[in-house]
């Protein structure tokens, strides 16, 4: 597979397996915006911050808020 990003934004992809054993393609696109001091309309930033990969989870899990942070529970 050849992933071609023509958006001008940060993007990435990952492949995972579903419960049925089928592959699932996940694509993430991230945009960074500048918010004007005068409360005007946000504009796309000239400097786009990188897409950051975090923890990956497999199986049946859900996110549960706790103490102002999100934590992974089984």
Measured distance CA(18)–CA(73) in Å, rounded: 19
72 has pLDDT over 70: no
What pTM was computed for the model? 0.55
- The H or E element spanning position 17 is strand 10-17
Any bridge partners for residue 64, and if so which? 71
| Tens digits of residue pLDDT in 5-45 | 998 888 988 888 888 888 888 888 999 999 998 888 999 99
Q: Please state which of the ranges 38-42, 62-66, 70-74 shows the lowest mean pLDDT.
A: 70-74
Does residue 68 or residue 43 have the better pLDDT? 43
In the chain, domain spans: 10-73
Measured distance CA(31)–CA(29) in Å, rounded: 7
Terminal alpha carbon distance of the chain: 33
* 3-class secondary-structure state, position 53: coil
61 has pLDDT over 60: no
């Amino acid at each position: 597979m050849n992933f071609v990003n023509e958006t001008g934004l940060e993007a990435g992809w990952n492949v995972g397996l579903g419960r049925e054993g089928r592959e699932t393609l996940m694509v993430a696109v991230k945009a960074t915006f500048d918010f004007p001091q005068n409360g005007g309309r946000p504009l796309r930033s000239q400097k786009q911050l990188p897409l950051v990969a975090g923890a990956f989870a497999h199986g049946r899990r859900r996110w549960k808020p706790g103490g102002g942070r999100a934590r992974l529970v089984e």
